[in-house]
Amino acid sequence: MHLAEGVLSAPALLGSAAVAAMGVGLGLRRLDDARLPLAALLGAAFFVASTIHVPVGVGSVHLILNGLAGLLLGWAAFPVFFVALLLQAALFSFGGFTVLGANLLIMALPAVAAHYLLRGLVASRAPGGPGRRRLMLAGAACGLVGIGGAILIASLLLALAGGRAFADLIALLVAAHLPVLAVDAVIGAVAVALLGRMMPRALAAGAA
């Protein structure tokens, strides 16, 4: 979900930009050469999925897949999403440069949360690895944590910027993303189950 320019207050913009910058710095330190191909793949998936969007109020509705990216990348999701959001702002005017930090925080912070909350479900090193049902559960939870967290952070930023004046916009944003949450959860479940069968090393990697 891309928040538009001219909506958030200066303190909200500056605060979110500062936190996002720290996340990018930490993510760059955690992004090693071995995970660059996976990071590029997930960044491209995020770029394409979030380019197809529908404007709703002061934001937009689109797939994010941030929970899935966070599960595999951890803090490295910050620089990956930063590049994608920067390109979208420059090429398509999605979001904007002034709200780049806020939009990055909205999408990347829940991704990191998904990593630490769900990594234990898929990182089993036991023979055979985790079962298919467990993988699908973790993948579906990625959608719930990723989209749910993004809704929460976006709503908080809007509440801080506009207070009760943005109450209707926040309600619209939440309602519009409920179908996205369901679709993201289904995609996450299928993707993690396939990764468990085809690229188990991606799931068995250590925490980022």
Supply the mean pLDDT for the chain: 86
Phi and psi, residue 93, nearest 5°: 60, 30
Return the structure tokens found at 205. Answer: 């990697």
**Amino acid at the residue 160:** L
136 close to 192: Cβ distance less than 8 angstroms: yes
| Mean pLDDT, residues 99-108 taken together | 94
Class of domain 10-204: mainly alpha
Is the Cα torsion angle 201, 80, 115, 93 positive or negative in sign? negative
Name the nearest CA neighbour of 153 among 189, 101, 116, 115: 101
202 close to 195: Cβ distance less than 8 angstroms: yes
Q: Where are any strands of DSSP class E within 57-173?
A: 59-61
153 close to 107: Cβ distance less than 8 angstroms: no
Cα 204 to Cα 9, 13, 84, 182: the distances in Å are 42, 37, 26, 26
pLDDT at 15: 92
Q: When comparing pLDDT for 199 and 111, which is higher?
A: 111
| Mean pLDDT, residues 104-110 taken together | 95
pLDDT at 58: 62
Angstrom distance (rounded) from CA 76 to CA 113: 12
Q: What's the whole-model pTM score?
A: 0.88
pLDDT at 94: 80
175-200: per-residue pLDDT in tens? 888 888 999 999 999 999 998 888 77
Q: Say how many C-beta atoms besides its own lie within 10 A of residue 52's C-beta.
A: 8
Give the pLDDT band of residue 205 (cuts 50, 70, 90). Answer: low
Angstrom distance (rounded) from CA 87 to CA 98: 14
Give the pLDDT band of residue 87 (cuts 50, 70, 90). Answer: very high
pLDDT at 160: 85
Which of 40-54, 89-103, 131-145, 165-179: highest mean pLDDT? 131-145
Given a cut of 90, is residue 101 above it in pLDDT?
Answer: yes
151-169: per-residue pLDDT in tens? 999 999 988 887 777 788 8
The gap between the terminal CA atoms of the chain, to the nearest Å, is 24
Give the pLDDT band of residue 95 (cuts 50, 70, 90). Answer: confident
116-132: per-residue pLDDT in tens? 999 888 876 544 567 88
Q: Say how many C-beta atoms besides its own lie within 10 A of residue 10's C-beta.
A: 9
pLDDT at 207: 47
**Amino acid at the residue 142:** C
Return the structure tokens found at 140. Answer: 């579906």
Q: What are the domain boundaries of the chain?
A: 10-204
pLDDT at 6: 83
Angstrom distance (rounded) from CA 115 to CA 7: 30
